[in-house]
Amino acid sequence: MVRKIGSGATSNVYLAIHGKTLVSVAIKLLRKESHSDTHKQMFATEASLRGQLDHPNIVGIHDADLHAEEGAYLVLEYVDGDSLNKFGKPDTLLPIDAVIDAIRQSAEGLEHASSKGIIHRDIKPDNLIRTAAGQVKVTDFGCAITNQPDAAPVGVAGSVAYMSPEQLTGNPLNHQSDIYALGAVFYRLLTGRYSFDAESTDSAVHEILNKPHIPVEARRQGIPKELTRIIDRALQKKPEDRHGSWGDFIKEIDEARTAMRTKYDYDFDMLRGFSETTLSRYLADTRELAATRELAARAQADKS
- 164 and 238 in one domain? yes
The domain boundary, picked from 77, 105, 129, lies at 77
The domain boundary, picked from 29, 55, 77, lies at 77
- 120 and 57 in one domain? no
Which pLDDT score is estimated for 103? Answer: 98
Which pLDDT score is estimated for 11? Answer: 85
- 161 and 65 in one domain? no
- 184 and 42 in one domain? no
Let me know if residue 131 belongs to a domain. yes
- 240 and 147 in one domain? yes
Let me know if residue 118 belongs to a domain. yes
- 157 and 145 in one domain? yes
Catalytic residues: 122
- 148 and 95 in one domain? yes
Which pLDDT score is estimated for 239? Answer: 97
3-class secondary structure per residue, the chain: CCEEEEECCCEEEEEEECCCCCCEEEEEEECHHHCCHHHHHHHHHHHHHHCCCCCCCECCEEEEECCCCCCCEEEEECCCEEEHHHHCCCCCCCCHHHHHHHHHHHHHHHHHHHHCCEECCCCCHHHEEEECCCCEEECCCCCCEECCCCCCCCCCCCCHHHCCHHHHCCCCCCHHHHHHHHHHHHHHHHHCCCCCCCCCHHHHHHHHHHCCCCCHHHHCCCCCHHHHHHHHHHCCCCHHHCCCCHHHHHHHHHHHHHHHHHHHHHHHHHHCCCCHHHHHHHHHHHHHHHHHHHHHHHHHHHHC
Let me know if residue 269 belongs to a domain. no
- 255 and 288 in one domain? no
Instruction: List the chain pLDDT tens, one digit each, 304 residues.
Output: 789 988 877 888 999 997 777 789 999 998 877 777 777 778 888 888 888 999 999 999 988 888 888 888 899 999 999 999 999 999 999 999 999 999 999 999 999 999 999 999 999 999 999 999 999 999 999 889 988 654 444 567 779 999 999 999 999 999 999 999 999 999 999 999 999 999 999 999 999 999 999 999 999 999 999 999 999 999 999 999 999 999 999 999 999 999 988 765 545 444 455 555 555 565 566 566 666 666 766 766 666 5
Let me know if residue 267 belongs to a domain. no
The domain boundary, picked from 77, 95, 117, lies at 77
Let me know if residue 266 belongs to a domain. no
Cα separation, 303 vs 297, whole angstroms? 10
Let me know if residue 268 belongs to a domain. no
Which pLDDT score is estimated for 285? Answer: 60
- 44 and 116 in one domain? no
What's the total number of domains in the chain? 3
Let me know if residue 112 belongs to a domain. yes
- 66 and 116 in one domain? no
CATH at residue 148: 1.10.510.10
Let me know if residue 234 belongs to a domain. yes
- 91 and 62 in one domain? no
- 221 and 115 in one domain? yes
Domain, as residue range, for 103:
81-261
CATH at residue 68: 3.30.200.20
